[in-house]
Amino acid sequence: MADPMPNLTVLRYLKDAAESPEPQSIYRAIGIEPVINCRGTFTIIGGSVERPEVLAAYKAASREFVQYDELAAAVGRRLAEVTGAEWGLVSDGCAAGLKHVTAACVTGGNPEKLIRIPDLTGMDKTQVIIPAYSRNAYDHALRNIGVEIVTVETADDLARSINARTAMIYVNSGPGSMTGEPLSLESIVAVAGPAGVPVLVDAAAENLSIPCMHLERGADVVVYSGGKAMCGPQGAGLVLGKKSILMAAWQASSPHHGPNRDNKVGREEILGMLAAVEAWVTRDHHAEWQTWLARLDLIGARVKQIAGVEAVIEQPAGLSNRAPVLVLSWDPSSLHITGEDVAEDFARKKPRIAIGSGDTNDRAGLRVTPSQMQPGEDEIVAERIYAILSQDRPPRSEQPAPAAVDVTGHWDFTIEYATSVSRHRLYLQQEGNWIVGTHHSDFSQQEILGQIAGNEVKLRSEALSPGDRVLFVFSGEATGDAIAGSVFLGEYLTATFCAQRVVYTALRRPITVPGGPPLAT
């Protein structure tokens, strides 16, 4: 008899897990191989492992219904009690928190303004100032509100840029914001405060400091990722600061209708995030650190048994992505493998391991971050690294096969994305196996570098804009006046392309240079 539920793999897994003392991976049940995380709290591989308290709060919250405004008020008060901030808010991720606060500073809590976003025509507050060092991919959250971004380089730029239309100043809590820097948080607050301009700090990947160091230094609001250091819900963010701004931010967020309704946060995530904050103040952070060091010691001791491999543990002092890191390094000409090679091998073969590569000009390297590794995984990682670095392999071939095609010239590239087509132009110059040139993409122009071996062409360029980058890695086969293949777009997946060499019609006619200005047009 045919299976009446052939596709209910998750339900079958849950049934088997309830009956098995050692259940298998739920991801394997749907055909995905899970990953051992030696990279840290990266969203692309799931952020962090949620605390038991978080999972318990999540489950308890799911059993009952509650009015969301009452929930937000109660949680806001409790977050204030635990953190020492004036008020707290749970958002649908850190980026959503940035978006809600931006909307709050633009609208001032006026719902008639709120429902007009992102059309800010006729509004008073339409600009957000960002120091150049703070521009990053996450300031899309601010731009989604429709504000004009004003980028400043110096304190004088900042003073000149503040005006009646300034809604707020956004600061990423990176090195440029540290005390003593030209545009430190303190120096920004000193200018913004008298002008009545709120300052928002993005501390996404930081450890939560109590009292919050950024609020103590004068910021009005700070936003954290819930699914990173605090090990709360991956889809939650923590917003702390002035109650008036956070109340307007809550008004701008779901469940209220308006431009941020798409950033819906569940009651389970709200209480899960509150549980993560309460757990944060009771966790034994020193013991956790010692556990992480022990994992790195085990891996380092095993790998150092290979001649020529060095292992050093770095212990960063900052709060962002705070965890010790094991740095492994070796001479790639001796072991005939690079860190990038190892990371690629680990990403594609079982057991899959997400690990950082750290190659330099003369040393190959790996970086192992232990904070999200699970018990027993350090032994797996140690053996996997030992096996690949101790393996005998022939010397790497430094000389590619001779080029069978000369791609020098102008090329029209047609790129087929998921549902659209773009036409780019490349100007290439080839010398042996190596290619340089210029890539004209849809909205920018950038340098392109590449190589050719036989008929196989590889080209790489990056389209850059403030805070953003789009990677193009063209890989294809050249045949005379045509090239075809795929385009690796990094986090934006892949596309396909075909290219034709541009052939110009030769117009051979003399050019006359006038002896002076024309007598008539």
d(CA 204, CA 225) in angstroms, rounded, equals 5
| 3-state secondary structure at position 491 | helix
Read out DSSP for 398-459?
-SPPPBSS---EEEEEEEE-SS-EEEEEEEEEEETTEEEEEEE-SS-EEEEEEEEEBTEEEE
Q: Which helix (H) or strand (E) holds 94?
A: helix 94-107
d(CA 469, CA 284) in angstroms, rounded, equals 39
Residue 320, CA distances (Å) to 116, 141, 324 in order: 36, 20, 12
How many Cβ atoms sit within 10 Å of the Cβ of residue 163? 11
CATH of 285-389, one of 3.30.70.240, 3.40.50.720, 3.40.50.10440, 3.90.1150.170: 3.90.1150.170
CATH of domain 409-501: 2.40.128.120
Cβ pair 61, 271 in contact under 8 A: yes
pLDDT on residue 369? 97
Tokens 């073969």 identify what position?
349
d(CA 215, CA 203) in angstroms, rounded, equals 11
Q: What is the pTM of this model?
A: 0.92
| 3-state secondary structure at position 366 | strand
Closest CA to 324 of 336, 335, 311, 314: 314
Return the C-alpha torsion angle 209, 213, 219, 223, nearest 10: -20
Closest CA to 496 of 421, 393, 441, 430: 421
Cβ pair 24, 13 in contact under 8 A: yes
Residue 371, CA distances (Å) to 41, 296, 310, 329 in order: 8, 10, 21, 21
Question: How do the pLDDT tens digits run along the chain, 521 residues long?
Answer: 445 445 668 888 888 888 887 778 899 888 899 999 999 999 999 999 999 999 999 999 999 999 999 999 999 999 999 999 999 999 999 999 999 999 999 999 999 999 999 999 999 999 999 999 999 999 999 999 999 999 999 999 999 999 999 999 999 998 999 999 999 999 999 999 999 999 999 999 999 999 999 999 999 999 999 999 999 999 999 999 999 999 999 999 999 999 999 999 999 999 999 999 999 999 999 999 999 999 999 999 999 999 999 999 999 888 889 999 999 999 999 999 999 999 999 999 999 999 999 899 899 999 999 999 999 999 999 999 999 999 999 998 778 999 999 999 999 999 999 999 999 999 999 999 999 999 999 999 999 999 999 999 999 999 999 989 999 999 999 998 999 999 999 999 999 999 999 988 878 888 889 989 998 87
Fold of 52-280: Aspartate Aminotransferase; domain 2 (3.40.640)
d(CA 249, CA 239) in angstroms, rounded, equals 9
pLDDT on residue 6? 53
pLDDT on residue 61? 97
Cβ pair 240, 88 in contact under 8 A: yes
Domain residue ranges of the chain, discontinuous segments joined by +: 1-32, 52-280, 285-389, 409-501
Cβ pair 448, 461 in contact under 8 A: yes
pLDDT on residue 7? 60
Closest CA to 126 of 117, 136, 134: 117
Residue 280, both tokens: 């944060």
How many Cβ atoms sit within 10 Å of the Cβ of residue 193? 13
Q: Give the phi and the psi of residue 427 in degrees, each rounded to 5.
A: -115, 110
Residue 291, CA distances (Å) to 227, 294, 381, 487 in order: 20, 5, 16, 42
